[in-house]
């Protein structure tokens, strides 16, 4: 008899089950998609107060050595020169064809020392790609010893002030620092995947995962904090038009098609830059469009998109947006069909539903 491999589980799997979470497979991990509070309440809590997400499935890699910066400049799409200690940059890992292996955040911890956050299902491939192109530098996989939680929403720093003597509310966007949170030595980054301007990602020893989770939940209860699953994480990121690997980014999609020109430095040499320069010069054939539907019914990934009788693309992600109050989607369509104001239709279970291309994002939070 052939047995399927057991999925990975974070250190908080039993906690999620005790809370009544619905668990699904995500990138080879058993992860909570929602709790009995359900996705919309979790989504709204994050927008209005705070949400706590177990992101212990994501990867962390450490690159260090005299050749760390020089190697990474060749490997990732964005120029990392001139970064301050503690500063992070969103960037892309591309192949020779210019398509996307993964999207990453690279933090400079110190001179020739870089902390990289990867997606869960791509971590091993990312590590192999990076390691194969390192010169005079080493790679360490930190996942076996590290856990990650995301605390997101306008009440984030009020909650943290109950747990941390070090003031964190002045931390700049995409900057990391060290602090003791609930007595646990942690790396705190002002970043996240919900679109909220107030939010942090916490990295700390895996052995302290339950202690950290319970401390944040207890401190956050008076503020309306809820535990949140992947379902709310998806609706939150989609309202803000943040790409999801495997949907808006993949080995079949280039950063130019995904509208991520800003995450590339085409003037520097990196793997795939020649193909990307050529695509830009020739004209990008497809573009990622934001679709607003006339009704509440959303289109979903892989649903066909039409302009009149002509199929012009496919939906990459779709949902109902709880904050904006209407159905939304991102779709990869022919560039000629991606202009704001263009009327399109998505085919859902044999029926066409009307949509219009709108500007990105659907929702923009108030700046903190």
Q: Walk me through the domains of the chain, giving residue ranges and CATH numbers.
A: 8-56+144-239 (3.30.1360.120), 285-368 (2.40.30.110)
Average pLDDT over residues 331-346: 98
Average pLDDT over residues 245-271: 98
Average pLDDT over residues 250-259: 98
Around 171, how many Cα atoms within 13 Å sit in the side-chain half-sphere? 28
pLDDT digits (tens, 9 = 90+) for 183-192: 999 999 999 9
Q: Is residue 366 predicted with pLDDT exceeding 90?
A: no
* Rounded CA separation 125/291 (Å): 32
The dihedral over CA atoms of 210, 216, 217, 222, expressed in degrees to the nearest 10, equals 160
* Rounded CA separation 334/305 (Å): 10
Beta carbons within 10 angstroms of residue 338's beta carbon: 21
Q: Is residue 368 predicted with pLDDT exceeding 90?
A: no
Residue 295: the pLDDT is 85
Strand boundaries in the chain, DSSP class E = 8-9, 22-26, 29-34, 51-54, 59-64, 88-94, 100-110, 113-118, 138-141, 146-152, 176-181, 184-189, 199-205, 226-228, 286-293, 304-307, 310-321, 326-334, 343-348, 351-358
The dihedral over CA atoms of 308, 311, 315, 319, expressed in degrees to the nearest 10, equals 30
**Are 71 and 106 contacting, i.e. CB atoms less than 8 angstroms apart?**
no
Average pLDDT over residues 31-45: 97
> Could you tell me which residues are beta bridge partners of residue 63?
114, 139
Angle, CA of 233, 124 and 76, to the nearest 5°: 80
Q: How far is CA 99 from CA 55, 123, 275, 279, 288, in A?
A: 26, 17, 9, 11, 15
**Tokens for 50?**
């705070």
pLDDT digits (tens, 9 = 90+) for 272-306: 999 999 999 999 999 999 999 998 999 999 999 99
Residue 6: the pLDDT is 56
Q: How far is CA 174 from CA 63, 97, 105, 114, 190, in A?
A: 18, 29, 9, 14, 5
Residue 367: the pLDDT is 72
* Rounded CA separation 345/266 (Å): 35
Average pLDDT over residues 17-38: 96
DSSP 8-state code for residue 7: P
Q: Is residue 1 predicted with pLDDT exceeding 50?
A: no
* Rounded CA separation 190/168 (Å): 9
**181 three-class SS:** strand
**Tokens for 131?**
């390691």
Strands 59-64 and 286-293: what pairing?
unpaired
DSSP 8-state code for residue 250: B
Phi first, then psi: what are they for 95, rounded to 5°?
A: -100, -175
Provide the percentage of residues in the chain whose pLDDT is more than 70: 98
Q: Is residue 5 predicted with pLDDT exceeding 60?
A: no
The overall average pLDDT reported for the chain is: 96
């Amino acid at each position: 008899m052939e047995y399927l491999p057991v999925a990975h589980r974070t250190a908080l799997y039993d906690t999620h089950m005790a809370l009544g979470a619905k668990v699904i497979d995500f990138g080879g991990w058993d992860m909570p998609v929602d709790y009995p509070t359900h996705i919309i309440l979790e989504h709204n809590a994050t927008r209005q107060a705070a949400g706590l997400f177990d992101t212990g499935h994501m990867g962390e890699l450490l690159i260090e050595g005299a050749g760390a910066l020089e190697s990474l400049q060749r490997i990732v799409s964005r120029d990392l020169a001139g970064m301050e200690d503690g500063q992070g940059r969103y960037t892309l890992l591309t192949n020779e064809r210019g398509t996307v292996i993964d999207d990453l955040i690279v933090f400079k911890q110190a001179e020739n020392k870089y902390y990289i956050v990867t997606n869960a299902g791509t971590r091993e491939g990312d590590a192999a790609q990076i390691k194969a192109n390192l010169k005079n530098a080493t790679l360490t996989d930190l996942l076996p010893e590290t856990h990650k939680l995301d605390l997101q929403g306008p009440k984030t720093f009020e909650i943290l002030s109950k747990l941390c003597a070090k003031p964190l509310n002045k931390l700049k966007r995409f900057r990391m620092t060290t602090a003791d949170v609930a007595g646990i030595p942690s790396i705190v980054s002002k970043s996240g995947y919900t679109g909220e301007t107030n939010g942090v990602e916490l990295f700390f020893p895996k052995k302290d995962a339950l202690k950290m989770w319970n401390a944040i939940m207890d401190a956050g209860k008076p503020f309306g904090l809820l535990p949140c699953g992947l379902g709310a994480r998806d609706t939150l990121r989609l309202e803000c038009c943040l790409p999801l690997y495997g949907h808006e980014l993949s080995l079949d999609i280039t950063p130019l098609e995904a509208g991520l020109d800003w995450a590339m430095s085409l003037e520097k040499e990196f793997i795939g830059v020649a193909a990307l320069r050529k695509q830009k010069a020739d004209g990008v054939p497809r573009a990622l469009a934001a679709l607003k539907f006339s009704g509440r019914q959303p289109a979903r990934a892989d649903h066909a998109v039409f302009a009149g009788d002509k199929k012009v693309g496919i939906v990459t992600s779709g949902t109902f947006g709880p904050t904006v109050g209407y159905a939304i989607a991102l779709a990869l369509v022919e560039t000629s069909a991606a202009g704001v104001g263009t009327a399109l239709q998505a085919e859902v279970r044999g029926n066409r539903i009307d949509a219009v291309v709108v500007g990105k994002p659907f929702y923009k939070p108030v700046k903190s």
